[in-house]
Structure 1
């Protein structure tokens, strides 16, 4: 073989598998492989729901049929959309505040042992206190507006964010930190170049938990005192024994949580392609 041919041939390292960028067909097949099992389970659940309603195993005023629930959603789309937007807004605002405060608190705790020993027990105590028990206090203090709902969403979503961020910041290889110090990197440079990027996989794990909990926090706040939102819709439907509307509110609330979870997962894959590819690909080396 000529020297030019050798130069044109890409070098391959022994023991390392070739991992080219997957094609659209491969990505579609991979997505279908991951999705068909939960879709089948979801269809089975809806089939069981329909069977229970069709055979009247349970009274219709207790468990409405899927058709009756769908009719309510189609008959009152504006009503449900109005309250869905309120709950979504409360959830997103509470989640974003929890992310900002949680990351800042985690950074301070990691870089200050005194702050960590002082703040961590308080965070743990605040987490174990049932939010539904203290929600009426927030309504008394802040009124029936949007503030109590956002505050409860922040309190519920805050703990997973700060714990995952602290874990990620502490999981950095000590040798990397020693190397950066040896090379004369300043603390803020070490944080931006090493600590923070290394903590992102842990952070996104906490964010996926926190965003679903934020939905619960917003609805809990609406249960206590509100005149709008999906929590208000569910309470009104429960008081009027309107189970189709109640089930419709529950379905929409669940859909909000699923959509937000998927959005965070998409953001993770876009911001951390190296992490997502390492997790998805079974092996990149051979022995």
Structure 2
């Protein structure tokens, strides 16, 4: 926080000292003033982007985790489809988005598809790595004790992979906001992406920075929420196990 405050102070001082035009680079005070005075103009845009990001994040991460579980439990399927998993991330969203609009129109579906595409991959790859790095001696011991494959997965591999899964969730949490904004750029009637496009076309640089700051704030809030969940599910459970 101190570093951020220092950067904002230096930015404000530079704007005043070098008399930088507001249309080129507005000062933090000007941006904050615009953000407070124009709240009613973009509040509904912020709500729309937040809802879209959350829904897309939930769908994308759920699909990513499901794919990771299926590929882990079926090694031959993993060998066949893992390259396709990687290739899915090489499709430029700017190229894919117009096709989605042609196929599905300007509704919510193509936007959710874009967010899902950018969110599922980090979770899927992180979960697969977590499953693969499970202690081999513990797996061997459980099989010797008569555990089934399902029991080994639910009681050993899945808990062991939770830190890796949460690492993927942190990445996807920030990607979800980015995907929502990009999808709004390509076709929407509300959202932070729409607000930013309108501000840019009217040369309102201060409003563009307002949109940027709210995008950063959303990413930080989502990231903090995932960290809180991680502490609850991993560190909290570890503390309970230590007490027992």
- Cα distance in 1, alignment partners of residues 29 and 51 from structure 2: 29
Q: Distance in 2 between matches of 1:260 and 1:232?
A: 21
Instruction: Say yes or no: does 1:159 pair with 2:121.
Output: yes
Cα RMSD, aligned residues only: 1.6
1:140 and 2:102 equivalent?
yes
Mark the structure with the bigger radius of gyration. 1
Residue aligned with 2:175, SS: helix
Among 165, 190, 208, the residue aligned to 1:228:
190
Residue 27 of structure 2 aligns with which residue?
Answer: 65
2:61 alignment counterpart: 99
3-state SS in 2 of match to 1:272: helix
Say if 1:40 and 1:275 are closer, same or farther in 2 by CA, change over 3 A. farther
- Tell me by how many angstroms 1:110 deviates: 1.0
| TM-score (norm. length: structure 2) | 0.93
Q: Distance in 1 between matches of 2:38 and 2:209?
A: 14
Q: Can you give the 5+ residue segments of structure 2 that lack an aligned partner in the other structure?
A: 240-244
Matches within 5 A, 1:122-271: 122-271=84-233
Task: Please say which of residues 87-96 and 51-60 is displaced more in the overlay.
Answer: 51-60
Residues 149 and 219, structure 1, Cα contact 8 Å, conserved in 2: no
Q: Could you tell which deviates more after superposition, 153-162 or 112-121?
A: 112-121
Deviation at 1:230, TM superposition (A): 0.3
- Secondary structure of the residue that 2:222 maps to in structure 1? helix
Structure 1 contact 107–166 (Cα < 8 Å) conserved: yes
Contact 1:201 1:275 in 2 (8 A): no
Instruction: Name the counterpart of 2:46.
Output: 84
Alpha-carbon deviation of 1:67? 1.8
Structure 1 stretch displaced more, 263-272 or 74-83? 74-83
Partners of 1:131 and 1:156 within 8 A in 2: no
C-alpha distance in 2, partners of 1:132/1:138?
10
Identify, as 1 or 2, the structure richer in helix: 2
Q: Is the 8 A contact 2:65 2:120 kept in 1?
A: no
How many Å separate the matches in 2 of 1:147 and 1:276?
40
Does structure 1 residue 52 correspond to structure 2 residue 14?
yes
Runs (4 or more) in structure 1 with deviation over 4 Å come to 274-277
**In 2, are the aligned partners of 1:269 and 1:276 still within 8 Å (CA)?**
no
Summarize deviations over 1:66-97 as a string: whole Å, max 9, x none: 12211221112233221111111111111111
Question: Alignment partner of 1:63: what SS?
Answer: coil
TM-score by length of 1: 0.80
